[in-house]
Structure 1
Amino acid sequence: MPCPDYAKRWFAARAWKPFPFQRAVWRALSRGQSGLLHASTGAGKTYALWFGALNAWAKPRPAASDKRRPAMAPLTVLWITPMRALAADTLRALQVPVDELDLGWSLGLRTGDTNSAERARQTRRLPTVLVTTPESLCLMLAREQAQVELASLRLVVVDEWHELLGNKRGVQVQLALARLRRWQPQLITWGISATLGNLDHAQQALMPEGIRVQGANDKTLKVDTLLPASVERFPWAGHLGLRMLEAVVEQVEASHSCLLFTNTRAQSETWYQALLQARPDWAGLIALHHGSLAREVREWVELALKQGQLKAVVCTSSLDLGVDFLPVERVLQIGSAKGVARLIQRAGRSGHAPGRPSRVTLVPTHSLELVEAAAAEQAVAARRIEPRVSPQQPLDVLVQHLVTLALGGGFRPDDALAEVRGAWAYATLGEGAWQWALAFIRHGGLSLLAYPDYRRVEPDEHGVWRVPDARLGRRHRLNIGTIVSDAALNVKFWSKGGGGKSLGSIEEGFIARLRPGELFLFGGRTLELVRVEQMTAYVKRSSGKKPAVPRWNGGRMPLSNELAEAVVEQFEAAARGDYHSAPLRAAKPLLQVQQAWSALPGRNRLLLEQLKSREGWHLFLYPFAGRLVHVGLASLLAWRLSQRAPASFSMSVNDYGLELLSPSAVNWQAALDGGLLSPANLVHDVLASLNAGELAQRRFREIARIAGLVFAGYPGAQKSTRQVQASSSLFFQVFRQYDTGNLLLSQAEHEVLSQELDVVRLAHTLEHIHGGALDLRVIGRPTPLAFPLLVERMRESLSSEKLADRIARMVGDLERAAGPAA
């Protein structure tokens, strides 16, 4: 089949040749087929869908008449992206062919960053193509005339579907698509994805039926590691790898442009400041990018990157996705990426074009990450990519969606049930849960019948369920979304006349710990807190020393299963004397001490170490199952031990293992022989071992916000985190006492098990241990694997200065005991 006209003209002008997968998508769209496009980052996926849409529906720009603007085509394409930065850049990429081909399509952007004037224009007339986010799409569906406004829609593209699939935002997208398909049964849906390990599920969750197009996956990915000049044999996490600063500066100097990815916003602030201090001449040539910075700052950085004006940007996951930065030559990953898919995604930010190789350099922040780096190199080469699974039947998302439907023209329950079951997450939704959801939005459930604010939806005389109260409708629109975090304060420069420049937002919990006059690091600047007023933190510049670094929530990502398995394989190779990669060879001094004092872990053998110290009796285990699983496992083991004999335990965890410490004697071998690690009665014992009520109550805060029980306040008058938490806690206690059948309570317990404790992975870990061998070693002093766990525990009780002194003394003693490195 010949190349379609618009694509042929535009590609020919650039001397480009379409890839076979792009042609396949164009053919599928011309036949009205839906599908999932999966290809490596930078392979040309956007052009595959975009030119398919242009060829199918675009017409030349109509001639202007009477000096009036020509009328553009009505809304035809919705392009959904998971991030604001990606949305803005996608719009720029889509606009270029439309302008150059002089087509009669208008393009617009609708995200949380869209200003009120642009929103008003879109209210009068939607553009032909609207690039938006899941939250903004749901806001559109909550408009009374939504069905009429979206009547001309032909195609929905869900970009970076792998980023949405595994969370509640993906469920939001499923429900929104079910609504759009009910209005437009012939609606075409396409997902765009890279770095996914379970494509069948990804496709089923997005569309009831469709084709799959596999794009080019032969992109060259180079993963290497920046090796330290010397290796700590007793490493500890927490110093953010700044001892590698000089080597990182050399890498940045040698490249034309690069991205330095960190895993947390706090880490990005610290590294940006360190780079500026090391190279003051780079001021204006390096920049900082993370989600809490003001929109204007983020947009400036994105555009400057695209135009090749910046030498380096220190960033977080805010620049993980799809943004097209052709000039970026290198990517450096500070610390472990914690997952294979994330590392591949970030690597793809360099050489982000078809045929160009991508390169990512790992920068270990402590010596054990050298082993992890060797594992990452191997896992990326083998494309051992993590699967992502959609949540099933989150009822908080469902009740929010039902109120949205009631605002967006209303719904009839029987029709709405069939529609909701069209979303994969609710395909098996039972009648009982459905009736509970209807009752909940109608009067808040059994315990809230007397309160008008929870009578959000009522059937009218025709049996159509609507929101009768305009005030409740406004509250709902302000509450739409599933991203729930601590209340954020605006950060502004202090100005006597008011109106100081906005720098971004920061979590209330951090600012609450500061007093006026204290310093903190934000946006690459050292700032002094002047005052806090009406959810705004007013600041001024400062040249003082030792500023605090903000700690945003979500900073600790657990090690993925695939990468953890690859790490254990590296330990097994080292045990055989096979130091096959540069990072593993660099870690050899550490591994030799571990092997001499204890043993190296293995895939079918759980390494345990017991130690008697002045603190008491220690047990170290190394299941390599990730931090979340180890939290549950540590609590489970401590509880099981205490059931046999009264005892108290201190615990610490990291991604590799866990420590139990008892001040009284424990016969660890007898405990292990007595079924301490048995997978039997797992869920019962886990719930009993933890303060399950407190965990469920904490999880319920998020659920209450999404379900609309708790209102965070109007713009400019937001409630504080303490107020929101108090409100959700009150609901939790009321439901437990007077409405025990409230399904949001059982959802909270389910999410604790599945998300906070990852009980499925915990069960798999215990079954794996049960089927293997236990290798209990008695050690005379902390090994290289045990030492980081000791530090984790001490961190909770010591200030940073005292902790550093204590660690220095301990490391000195251990190094002397280990003797000179080979």
Structure 2
Amino acid sequence: MSEIPAPITNWFAAKGWSIHPHQRAMFERAAAPATLLIAPTGGGKTMAGFLPSLADLADGNHQGLHTLYVSPLKALAADIKRNLRTPVEDIGLPIRIEDRTGDTSATQKKRQRADPPHILLTTPESLALLTSYEDAPHMFAGLRRVVVDEIHALAESKRGDQLMLALARLQTLCPDLRRVGLSATVEDPAEIARFLARHPDPCEILLADPGPDPDISMLDTAEMPPWSGGGAAYAVPAVLDQIRRHKTTLIFHNTRAQAEIFFHNLWLANDEGLPIGIHHGSLDRVQRERVEAAMVRGELRAVVCTGSLDLGIDWGDVDLVIQIGAPKNVKRLVQRIGRANHRYNAPSKALLVPANRFEVVECMAALEAVKAHELDGEPRGRGPRDVLCQHILIAACAGGFQADVLFAEMTTAGPYAALSRAEFDACLDFCATGGYALRAYDRWQRLLQRPDGRWQLRDPRSAQRIRQNIGTIQNTDTLKVRLRRNRGGKPLGEIEEGFAASLTPGDTFLIGGQIVRYEGMRDMTVEVTRRADRKPKIATFMGTKFATSTQLSARILNMFSQPDWPQLPGHTADWLALQRQISRLPEQGRLLIESFPHDGLEHVCFYGFAGRNAMQTLGLLLTKRMEEMGLNPLGFVATDYAILIWGLDALADPAPLFHIDSLRDGLDQWLAGNAVMKRTFRASATIAGLIERNQGGQRKTGRQATFSSDILYDTLLKYDPDHLMLGITREEAMRGLVDFGRIEELIARVGDRIDLVRLDRVTPLAAPLFLEVGKVPVKGSAEERLLAEESARLLSVAGVLG
């Protein structure tokens, strides 16, 4: 089709709009096997992705499913459905549009398989489930296009790996399938293009006009930020003032707990009663949808939120974004900034609010990166094998497979292009038998090979159990929170099981901006009453603490090398100048270590700038090495940029601490029986199908799942240490919670350029670390020595030794 149909162009003209150049370019490239469009938020990316589909379907001749739209968020799929129906209904196009997510009724899902709509909007999990049915070839028979929205977000997680395997399956069913990826924030377009395309086919990259630079700055506040902490309570009056001045403000936080605290403090200061909502993933779906609907109607002046609103829901009335706390990642900041002025060629307005003194520096580094159009991102690793195992089981549910054919199909998925046949065969053997140590148990004998070589389910009834456990999202185990005497009512939200276990009747905590009082547990539900007159505990919610990116850390170190800092507020510039006067500032390519006495103990501070997970791991490894060297460490605390260790003896020579082989050996010993490995094993084993969280419509509690996975882990470690799942677990731990790669990068970057500065007092840069929460004690010889010295002192005082 060479021209956009007249009814569509007439609709644009009637609206007073013109078709953007990148929208027309996408239409002209409709026949390309794969196209990646990078266009600014509000630039009509979605219409660009759907324009060829609307043109194809305008004549009403296509039967069945034509276009599949995949989004990382259910809310985004619903938003796109609402926005896409407007032109379809206005123009009178004969197109049926439906969504299919976890919220879709079972009746509608069944009907969609038999009679699919022309355009189906879904998520990676729902698509994987659809490919697991034997009638998938019927449902996808007429599929022409797949549109993957916010592809950068999917490419960063296992959900994206699962999606690419599902697209490989669809490409086998529909060889002429065209793929489209949409994003506003891509740091490496070529890499995302390789991720999207059918390997080894090329993917065209289309760059739209980026539009005007955002209007972004730091918020001026009357009060200085504190030395430590993440709540930014000091900025509440200034934030309220900005809410008054703007029509609608989104206030982003990095964690759900911080969002709850800030929302609570904002309400306490909100004397005018401005309508302000809260939105995050642990709140009940009904409450989230209520906030979303109120935003669409323009009834809210502000929403305190987390990553649940990072992606492209189209709320055009948002005219200000405020980021509370350092963004940790430039790409995430750009994504959030784009939520303001969600219109083409309109600059987004955003303000950054550092939560503490050090975050002032980090926020300034992020601002400079945004202005320089430099995004960050870690390089993608190979596709994880636990997702591959799940896909093998999905293929078995769909009627079985020939191993050679499935292997060839999987290697057309970008993340698995380098998959070896030996790796595939090991995963297939695991899916079929459970592996050497488990093959004697019937429950893990899941696949069998027929005489013709085709693999199929050993018991067809197991397909239902496998389908119930499809997905890669591993939420922290949570419990519903419900008002007492309202058991049939909607829950307020969820809290983590571990936090619930710490509560005793009478304790209060925040959820959904309300203070509630814990009354007890009934039927795995936390029962509460409303209580507004008590200071609440801080509930913990599932949700990741972001680590500062490598690129942003490098910018901070480069900033330290400047002779002065006119771009920083005076209090922060003075703080850095004092650090330089008393000690030194950390440098790129060198490792600064400070040693000083404080409060009767020796302290040593390592400025590694490797991100929170890596610095936490390095703290554990360094204290272990110091224990072996007789330095008697007592504990440590870690942040994104430094580790503070305290103990009984001063550090004289730091070089032996950083031998990479010794650190790696120490890591292996530490990981062997560590909770990190068991936690990682549970997540990967669930994805790979070894552990079933859902059985017969019932979900195991976190404790039940942990108990069974811990037994499995210990069994495999003892009897089959080379088991596939233990290898997968180690890979996942090393690049996830442990992040050893960032430690290796740090040591390679620094080499032997280690500067130990001995001082007689705490330094300005080290001072905030004394206020950090999450201190980790070290149990070892230092504790024994202190006990012996204290016993001797007490005996001496009592006259026993004298």
Quote how far apart the aligned CAs of 1:385 are: 0.7
Aligned match of 1:561 = 550
Q: What is the DSSP-based 3-state SS (H/G/I as helix, E as strand, rest coil) of the residue aligned with 2:355?
A: coil
User: C-alpha separation between the residues in 2 aligned to 1:310 and 1:304?
Assistant: 6
Aligned match of 1:89 = 79
Aligned match of 1:776 = 756
Q: Does 1:550 align with 2:539?
A: yes
Q: 1:267 aligns with which of 239, 250, 258?
A: 258
Quote how far apart the aligned CAs of 1:244 are: 1.1
User: C-alpha separation between the residues in 2 aligned to 1:437 and 1:624?
Assistant: 37
Aligned match of 1:818 = none
Deviations 1:656-679 (A, max 9, x none): 111122213432xxx23x443345
Contact preservation (8 Å) 2:430, 2:724: no
Structure 2 gaps of 5+ residues are 778-802
Quote how far apart the aligned CAs of 1:388 are: 4.5
Aligned match of 1:813 = none
Q: What is the DSSP-based 3-state SS (H/G/I as helix, E as strand, rest coil) of the residue aligned with 1:756?
A: coil
Aligned match of 1:236 = 228
Contact preservation (8 Å) 2:114, 2:139: no
Q: Does 1:187 align with 2:187?
A: no
Aligned match of 1:811 = none
Q: How does 1:15-30 map to 2 (within 5 A)?
A: 15-29=16-30
Rate the CA distance shift 1:546–1:354 in 2: closer, same or farther, 3 A.
same
Quote how far apart the aligned CAs of 1:692 are: 6.4
Contact preservation (8 Å) 1:196, 1:388: no
Quote how far apart the aligned CAs of 1:210 are: 2.3
Rate the CA distance shift 1:222–1:411 in 2: closer, same or farther, 3 A.
same
Q: Does 1:614 align with 2:599?
A: yes
Aligned match of 1:812 = none
Q: Does 1:116 align with 2:106?
A: yes
Q: Does 1:41 align with 2:41?
A: yes
Amino acid at match of 2:749: H
Deviations 1:383-419 (A, max 9, x none): 2211354441422111111111111222111111111
User: C-alpha separation between the residues in 2 aligned to 1:710 and 1:56?
Assistant: 44
Aligned match of 1:225 = 218
Rate the CA distance shift 1:690–1:420 in 2: closer, same or farther, 3 A.
closer
Aligned match of 1:512 = 501
Deviations 1:82-134 (A, max 9, x none): 11221211211221111111111111111122233432432442221111111
Aligned match of 1:467 = 457
Deviations 1:554-606 (A, max 9, x none): 34211011111122222222xx12x232x444512322332232222222443
Contact preservation (8 Å) 1:638, 1:689: no
User: C-alpha separation between the residues in 2 aligned to 1:463 and 1:691?
Assistant: 39
Q: 1:100 aligns with which of 90, 95, 100?
A: 90
Quote how far apart the aligned CAs of 1:152 are: 1.2
Q: How does 1:426-445 map to 2 (within 5 A)?
A: 426-445=416-435
Deviations 1:67-89 (A, max 9, x none): xxxxx841111110011221211
Please, what is the CA RMSD of the aligned residues? 2.3
Q: What is the DSSP-based 3-state SS (H/G/I as helix, E as strand, rest coil) of the residue aligned with 1:651?
A: strand
For normalisation by structure 1, the TM-score amounts to 0.90
Q: What is the DSSP-based 3-state SS (H/G/I as helix, E as strand, rest coil) of the residue aligned with 1:587?
A: helix
Q: Does 1:755 align with 2:736?
A: yes
Amino acid at match of 2:221: P
Aligned match of 2:800 = none
Q: 2:366 aligns with which of 376, 391, 395?
A: 376
Q: What is the DSSP-based 3-state SS (H/G/I as helix, E as strand, rest coil) of the residue aligned with 2:657?
A: coil
Q: What is the DSSP-based 3-state SS (H/G/I as helix, E as strand, rest coil) of the residue aligned with 1:652?
A: strand
Q: What is the DSSP-based 3-state SS (H/G/I as helix, E as strand, rest coil) of the residue aligned with 1:559?
A: coil
Q: 2:691 aligns with which of 710, 722, 726?
A: 710
Q: 1:767 aligns with which of 748, 765, 785?
A: 748
Quote how far apart the aligned CAs of 1:265 are: 0.9
Quote how far apart the aligned CAs of 1:645 are: 3.8
Q: 1:155 aligns with which of 138, 142, 145?
A: 145
Aligned match of 1:593 = 578
Q: What is the DSSP-based 3-state SS (H/G/I as helix, E as strand, rest coil) of the residue aligned with 1:482?
A: coil
Q: How does 1:290-689 map to 2 (within 5 A)?
A: 290-460=280-450, 462-495=452-485, 498-573=487-562, 576-577=563-564, 579-581=565-567, 583-645=568-630, 647-667=632-652, 671-672=653-654, 674-679=655-660, 683-688=664-669
Contact preservation (8 Å) 1:406, 1:467: yes
Contact preservation (8 Å) 2:57, 2:94: no
User: C-alpha separation between the residues in 2 aligned to 1:723 and 1:405?
Assistant: 29
Contact preservation (8 Å) 2:610, 2:641: yes
Contact preservation (8 Å) 2:257, 2:541: yes
Q: What is the DSSP-based 3-state SS (H/G/I as helix, E as strand, rest coil) of the residue aligned with 1:502?
A: coil
Rate the CA distance shift 1:406–1:338 in 2: closer, same or farther, 3 A.
same
Rate the CA distance shift 1:222–1:468 in 2: closer, same or farther, 3 A.
same
Q: What is the DSSP-based 3-state SS (H/G/I as helix, E as strand, rest coil) of the residue aligned with 2:593?
A: strand
Aligned match of 1:736 = 717
User: C-alpha separation between the residues in 1 aligned to 2:673 and 2:152?
Assistant: 31
User: C-alpha separation between the residues in 2 aligned to 1:434 and 1:796?
Assistant: 41
User: C-alpha separation between the residues in 1 aligned to 2:625 and 2:721?
Assistant: 28
Quote how far apart the aligned CAs of 1:735 are: 1.4
Amino acid at match of 1:736: L
Rate the CA distance shift 1:294–1:554 in 2: closer, same or farther, 3 A.
closer
Quote how far apart the aligned CAs of 1:654 are: 0.5
User: C-alpha separation between the residues in 2 aligned to 1:403 and 1:617?
Assistant: 55
Aligned match of 2:13 = 12
Q: What is the DSSP-based 3-state SS (H/G/I as helix, E as strand, rest coil) of the residue aligned with 2:211?
A: coil
Contact preservation (8 Å) 1:350, 1:358: yes
Deviations 1:50-71 (A, max 9, x none): 11221133335x9xxxxxxxxx
User: C-alpha separation between the residues in 2 aligned to 1:459 and 1:689?
Assistant: 40
Calculate percent identity across the aligned residue pairs: 35
Contact preservation (8 Å) 1:678, 1:770: no
Quote how far apart the aligned CAs of 1:461 are: 5.7
Aligned match of 2:786 = none
Aligned match of 1:258 = 249
Amino acid at match of 1:548: K
User: C-alpha separation between the residues in 2 aligned to 1:280 and 1:716?
Assistant: 47
User: C-alpha separation between the residues in 2 aligned to 1:439 and 1:789?
Assistant: 49
Q: What is the DSSP-based 3-state SS (H/G/I as helix, E as strand, rest coil) of the residue aligned with 1:313?
A: strand
Q: Does 1:50 align with 2:50?
A: yes
Rate the CA distance shift 1:110–1:388 in 2: closer, same or farther, 3 A.
farther
User: C-alpha separation between the residues in 1 aligned to 2:684 and 2:453?
Assistant: 29
Rate the CA distance shift 1:694–1:494 in 2: closer, same or farther, 3 A.
closer
Amino acid at match of 1:296: V
Quote how far apart the aligned CAs of 1:309 are: 1.5
Rate the CA distance shift 1:36–1:331 in 2: closer, same or farther, 3 A.
same
Amino acid at match of 2:305: C
Q: 2:766 aligns with which of 782, 786, 797?
A: 786
Q: What is the DSSP-based 3-state SS (H/G/I as helix, E as strand, rest coil) of the residue aligned with 1:599?
A: coil
Amino acid at match of 2:242: Q
Q: What is the DSSP-based 3-state SS (H/G/I as helix, E as strand, rest coil) of the residue aligned with 1:336?
A: coil
User: C-alpha separation between the residues in 2 aligned to 1:410 and 1:687?
Assistant: 39
Deviations 1:427-478 (A, max 9, x none): 2222322222222122211222232221222234654323343542222111
Contact preservation (8 Å) 2:247, 2:319: yes
Contact preservation (8 Å) 2:282, 2:541: no
Name the count of aligned residue pairs: 773
Aligned match of 2:207 = 214
Aligned match of 1:806 = none
Rate the CA distance shift 1:529–1:204 in 2: closer, same or farther, 3 A.
same
Deviations 1:680-729 (A, max 9, x none): 66534543466665432221111111111112234773222111111111
287-296 vs 318-327, which moves further? 287-296
Q: 2:133 aligns with which of 143, 150, 167?
A: 143
Rate the CA distance shift 1:396–1:375 in 2: closer, same or farther, 3 A.
same
Contact preservation (8 Å) 1:534, 1:717: no
Q: What is the DSSP-based 3-state SS (H/G/I as helix, E as strand, rest coil) of the residue aligned with 1:273?
A: helix
Rate the CA distance shift 1:219–1:56 in 2: closer, same or farther, 3 A.
farther
Rate the CA distance shift 1:724–1:461 in 2: closer, same or farther, 3 A.
same
